[in-house]
Amino acid sequence: MAESVSLYEEIEYPFTLGFKCFTASLESSCPHWHDAYEIVVPVEGQVRVRYKGAAYTLERGSIMLINSREIHAFASGTQQNICLFLQFSPNVFKLDRSSDARIYNFYLNTADPSIRLRTRPERFIEAVVRIWLHSYEKKKGYQYLMHAEFFRLIGDLFAHTIYDERFLSDSNAADSDTYILDQLSSYVHEHYTEDICMEDICRTLGMSRSTLYRFGKNVLGCSINDYVHHVRIKEAKRLLRRTEQCISVIGQNCGYSNDTSFYRAFKSHVGKTPSEFRKEGAAPSSDGRIQGYISHDTGAVYRLVKASSLFAQ
């Protein structure tokens, strides 16, 4: 007798797709990192990116890819900006690599003239725009087109950019950049209200001054002192926008011993004084859910993108 045959077949998918595409207006962010790869395409205005010890200015027509786990920081340029972002998980590459722990590093940055591309950068810019438009317009079946565009873009990265591959079995090794940043960040966030001196940081992190100096120069793209200011000013901005506390108190709460040093640091980082900032502060009222991303009117962005040269039919 024949055995009964089940028509049901359990199918295991090789990976969980992970990507998202959104628009944001970038203000400024602390140096940070994430597992996701991130592609930035400015639609309007300027954005400054610190990445691997260098600073780049991006504007419309530029594109930059930030690799997985690479430390980076954003700052707005002279004009307010709107950017498209495509973030995707390293799991995407499980389609290609099932077992080993390699991380692909793609070199795609139109602001770095030393990086060679084997195609026009527009190929990538247009792809990001199309992915975002699909996700915005949500026409019937858009998911398929959006995924197709996304995978074509990934394939194009292999075909048209220089890429290398990294293997680090222990990405949290005690001397890895991300580990150092984690340690530094928690220390500074715990102590920014106090007087912070380099000796304390070195002692707590168990690192030499020269190691931290090199880390600042090569990874953060700024000095450790600048980093401390960055954390303090960010908190000061939050307090200026969201509380009624007086400016001197905010300065003191953010670790500045007197008004002069607070004003000087604030002005140099933000480009305006704390009181000017508070007056204009009504404008973008977001709490900046994600590092430095500020929400805005996506409908306006849609019209902008459709009208712009970024959108090639």
Partner 1 sequence: MKCTKEHRLSYNARAEEIVKGLTLEEKVFLMSGRISLEEMVKGMKEDPNKHYNYIPYPAGGIDEKGIPAMKFCDGPRGVVCGVGQSTCFPVTMARGATFDVELEERVGRAIGKEIRAWGGNLFGGVCINLPYNPGWGRSQETYGEESFHLGQMGSALVRGVQAENVIACVKHYAFNSMEISRFKVDVDADKRTEREVYLPHFKDCIDAGAASVMSAYNLYKGVHCGHSDYLLNQVLKGEWDFDGFVISDFIWGILDTADAANGGMDIEMCATIHFGDKLVKAVRDGLVPEEKIDEAAVRIIRTLLAFTEADDKEYDMSLVGCDEHIALARECAEKGITLLQNTDNVLPLNKNKLNQILVLGELADKGVIGDYGSSRVFPKYIVTPLQGITDAVPNNVEVVYYSGEDLEHARKLAGQADAVVFVVGYDHDDEGEYVSEDQTDAYTGGIGGDRVNSLGLHQHEIDLIKAVGPVNKNSVAVLIGGNMIMMTEWKDDVSGILMAYYPGMEGGTALANIIFGDVNPSGKLPYVVPYKEEDLPQVEWDTTEQFYEYYHGYAKLEREGVEPLLPYGFGLSYTTFEVKDAKFNTDGQSVTAQCTVTNTGGRAGAEVVQMYVGFSNSKVHRPVKILRGFARVELEAGESKDVTISCPVEKLRWYNEETNAWELEKMEYEVYIGTSSADRDLLQGKVTIS
Residues that bind partner 1 (CB under 8 A): 100, 102, 107, 114, 116, 162, 164-170, 173-176
| Closest distance to partner 1 from the beta carbon of 163 (Å) | 8
- Shortest Å, Cβ 116 to partner 1: 6
For residue 187, what are the contacts with CB-CB under 8 A and spacing of at least 6?
A: 201, 204, 205
The HSE-up count of residue 107 (CA atoms within 13 Å, CB side) is 13
Q: How far is the CB of 15 from partner 1 (least distance, A)?
A: 20
Question: Cβ closer to partner 1: 179 or 213?
Answer: 179
If you ran DSSP here, which 8-state letter would residue 43 be given? E
Helices (H) and strands (E) in the chain, counts: 10, 10
Six-digit token pair at 23? Answer: 């628009």
Beta carbon of residue 114, minimum distance to partner 1 (angstroms, whole number): 8
**Residue 102 or 147: which CB sits closer to partner 1?**
102
Report the residue number, 170 or 195, with the smaller CB distance to partner 1.
170
How, if at all, do strands 37-44 and 82-88 pair?
antiparallel
Exposure string of 286-295, with b = 16+ CB inside 10 Å and e = fewer, is: eebeebbbbb
Q: How far apart are CA 124 and CA 126, in angstroms?
A: 5
Q: Which is nearer to partner 1, 97 or 120 (CB)?
A: 97
The nearest distance, CB 138 to partner 1, in angstroms, is: 40
Q: Which is nearer to partner 1, 17 or 117 (CB)?
A: 117
Q: Interhelix angle for 224-242 vs 177-191, to 10°?
A: 50
Q: How far is the CB of 101 from partner 1 (least distance, A)?
A: 8
Backbone angles phi, psi at 186, to 5 degrees: -65, -40
Please say which residue, 8 or 167, places its beta carbon nearer to partner 1.
167
Q: How far is the CB of 188 from partner 1 (least distance, A)?
A: 24
Phi, psi of 107 (to 5 degrees): -110, 95
Quick one: tokens of 281?
């502060």
| CB closer to partner 1 out of 105 and 295 | 105
User: 74 and 291 in contact (C-beta within 8 Å)?
Assistant: yes
